[in-house]
Every structure is written in C-alpha cells, then in structure tokens.
Structure 1
Amino acid sequence: GNGVVGTAMAVANPDAEVVFTDESFQAVASAEATFRENAGPAAEAGFLVGDALSGVERESVDLVLNNPPFHTHRALTDSTSWRMFSGSRRALRPGGELWVIGNRHLGYHVKLRRLFGNCETVASNPKFVVLRAVKRR
C-alpha cells in the first residue's frame, strides 16, 4: 500500500526496525515516499517487493501490520489476505502479533482464529475493524 500504517508506527517507535513489503513495485515506491516524507531524513527502514512476506525469514519478526486488499485485479477474493495471514504467521516469532485493518464485512476474525487459534477486536466502527492475533507456538 502507501505505507501510512507502517510510517505511523515507525514515527511513534523510532527505535523499531521497520520493513515495508508489497507485491507491487509501485506500492513499495509509494510507501518509501510516505516514509521519507514523514519519518525524517535520518530514519531508516527496509523496502521489499515480494508476495505475502515471502522474502521475510521464518520467525524473524515481532509485529506485522496488515491492511489486506479484498480484491485481486477485478475479482473479489480472500486468497490474497489468506496468503498474507499465513505468511505473517510464518514470519512471526512465538509471541509475535499480527494486527489487521480490514472492512468489517470480510470476516477476517474467522480466518485469524482458524490460523492463529485466537483473535481479538482492538477497535471498530460500522465499516472497519482492527484485529489482533498472537502466534502462540
């Protein structure tokens, strides 16, 4: 995406090591521009082009922030979100957290409970939810 969520987290936590990833070169360039504009010239982050955290080492991260698309090209599908959630679980260390921002009607909480064994709603409004799942093992 455009990197707004990751940039906000990086600005609030300047000591965090942050990596932005997307399958789109254009989205990664947009995320980098957002980060550079808002985090300041001394801030550092990584920028990867890849599918669903495929370029991220297994059990190497503590937190994944995710705002998955609910469409792939012209098709409405959850296949991309499922790959992103599965890739997040693979990349997270035990005790690591996946936070998902999504449209309420997509029912991501069901998928996260199936994959992680847990899911809590952190915040919501009539249109969106913020969900948190923890990798227990």
Structure 2
Amino acid sequence: MLFTDESYQAIASAEATYHANATPPSKATFEVADALTTSPPASADLILNNPPFHTHQATTDRTALRMFRNAHRTLRQGGEFWLVGNRHLAYHVPLKRLFGNSTVIASNPKFVVLRAVKR
C-alpha cells in the first residue's frame, strides 16, 4: 500500500492516521511525491484519489488531469481508479477520454464518486 502526496504535512498526517487505525496494520509506504511520478508503470491494481482543484488561489483542473494520466500509466490492465470530487468539476469527461469508461459509484448534490477501469 502506497500513500503519496506532494505535501510533507499531508504524508505525516496520513501516516499517523494509518498507524492509529489500521487493524491489523499491513505494509504501507508513505512517500512525498508529485502525482505518482515516481511510481513504475503497471505497478498498481487500485488507486484512490481525491484531486485538488485549487492551486494556490486559482481554480484549475490541471493538477487533477496530471494525476489521472499518471494513475492510468501506473495501473495494471484491469486496475481500478476511484476518485471523489466536486460534482461541478465533471471529472467523468476526462476519465472517459483517458480510460474509455467512467462509472458513477455514489453521488449527492455536491460530490461524486467515480470509478474507471484500465482496459
């Protein structure tokens, strides 16, 4: 299990939360990295993602789209990419372009959980 974020603070928080709650704890790696850029191709079966849509004070999908591309590269064939995002960001559109599919798993008026499978 790999936890990755570009923020040292986010990784420290994830590691503390994991160790406080994982029962039984499995092997986990906590890595400060940018959007899976250090992960080898076809090395993951499942990626969970909550992409940011703010970069400093600007609202943009550039970071999310880079995360989606790197997730696609990192997943093995048949691997799943799950994400939660604000509904108005319409992440299903770039996921369908990149993965060829996108399924709504859950939603409410503000948020949506999507799954895309690498074919």
TM-score, length basis structure 1: 0.84
Q: Distance between the aligned counterparts of 2:66 and 2:25, measured in 1?
A: 33
Note the C-alpha offset of 1:73. 1.0
Structure having the higher strand fraction is 2
Which 4+ runs in 1 deviate beyond 3 A? 40-43
After superposing the two structures, state which structure 1 stretch, 42-51 or 22-31, moved more: 42-51
Instruction: Determine if the alignment matches structure 1 residue 111 to structure 2 residue 111.
Output: no
Contact residue 63 and residue 96 of structure 1 kept, 8 A: yes
Amino acid at match of 1:48: E
Q: Distance between the aligned counterparts of 1:72 and 1:26, measured in 2?
A: 16
Structure 2: 5+ residue stretches without partners: none
- Give 1:29's aligned residue: 12
Structure 1: 5+ residue stretches without partners: 1-17
TM-score, length basis structure 2: 0.96
CA, structure 1 residues 41+98, in 2 after alignment: closer, same or farther (shift >3 Å)?
closer
Contact residue 48 and residue 55 of structure 1 kept, 8 A: no
Instruction: Determine if the alignment matches structure 1 residue 102 to structure 2 residue 85.
Output: yes
Note the C-alpha offset of 1:42. 4.5
- Give 2:71's aligned residue: 88
Contact residue 123 and residue 130 of structure 1 kept, 8 A: yes
* Percentage of matched positions with identical amino acids: 64
Higher relative contact order (CA 8 A, sep 6+): 2
C-alpha root-mean-square deviation of aligned residues, in Å?
1.1
